[in-house]
Homo-oligomer: A and B are copies of this chain.
Amino acid sequence: MAAVAPALTSPRLRLVPVPTACQACSVKNRAICGALSDDERDALGRLGRVQQLARGATLMWEGDEAHAVANVLEGVLKLSLSTADGREQILGVAYPSDFVGRPFGTRVPYQVTAVVDARVCLFPRAAFDRFVASHPALEHELLERTLIDLERAHAQLLDLGRKTAAERLAGFLLDLSLRLAQAQCGPSDRPAAPLDGLELPLSRQQIGDLLGLAIETVSRTLQRMKLDGAIELVGRRGLVIRDRAMLRRMAGY
């Protein structure tokens, strides 16, 4: 049920110098920075540092003092909460250009862990909070994003509370193909069509932790979908959506 805990101290957590310039940043238009002028964005950038995260490294722990917030530059992170006895629930998954952390709060509300090698742009929270206070456009952007995160959490509540394993998994795959397509479209702003061939960023165990299922249930349900002709499985991480309409039906849309 709980994922195997990664090393108790973050493994291979490397610090990298400040970016030479935000101008070259691959997510400058899609991250919160997009709400700022070039000058403002560079000023914000001077507060931050780029940090490399190896797969499995934890960026922040639930309950820790909230020293930092971050933009995801590259890779995929999971946000999670656990019970005292180690059952884990993944709250959401952060892709490049997503913002993670808790501004204006003293405690980190969830654990943030890299599920594949990743790079983030890390800001000390105190300085970030001050910067936000003097830049209303940035605060507005944060609000918009938090509202969207809240809507995502709400959709997931419906999934976990009221949907079957097959419905949750079908919905997850459809959403994933959409999110991956968006993340892949490079520094530009235009959206992309949903992808059919995907590389799953999550292991079966992690998919289970996200959807509130046991790993065996995830595996069996995927096999079922494969037999039904809805998907194709390629190795551990590969997946092809063969019949999107069938998946939508399975998801209950």
1/0 contact trace for A234-253 toward B, CB 8 Å?
Answer: 00000000000000000011
Which residues of B are found within 8 Å of A147, using beta-carbon distances?
102-105, 146
Q: Which residues of chain B are near A143, meaning CB under 8 Å?
A: 104, 139, 142-143, 146
Q: Are A89 and B162 also in contact (CB < 8 A) when A109-B151, A157-B156 are?
A: yes
Is A85 positioned at the interface, with any CB of B under 8 Å from its CB?
Answer: yes
Among residues of B, the one whose C-beta sits closest to the C-beta of A85 is B252
What 1/0 mask marks residues of chain A from 77 to 105 whose CB sits below 8 Å from any chain B CB?
A: 00001111101110100000000001111
Q: Does A149 contact B (CB under 8 A)?
A: yes
A174 at the interface (CB under 8 A from B): no
Q: State whether A89 touches B158 (Cβ < 8 A).
A: yes
- Give every chain B residue within 8 A of A88 (Cβ-Cβ): 162
| Identity of the chain B residue whose Cβ is nearest the Cβ of A82 in the assembled complex | B158
Q: Is A202 an interface residue (CB 8 A)?
A: no
Point out residues on A near B: beta carbons under 8 Å: 1, 81-85, 87-89, 91, 102-105, 109-110, 133, 136, 139-140, 142-144, 146-147, 149-151, 153-158, 160-163, 209, 211-212, 252-253
Can you show 25 pairs from A to B with CB atoms below 8 A apart? Answer: A1-B162, A81-B154, A81-B157, A82-B158, A84-B253, A87-B162, A87-B163, A89-B158, A89-B162, A91-B154, A91-B158, A103-B147, A104-B147, A105-B147, A139-B139, A139-B140, A139-B143, A143-B146, A150-B150, A153-B154, A153-B157, A156-B157, A161-B209, A161-B212, A162-B212
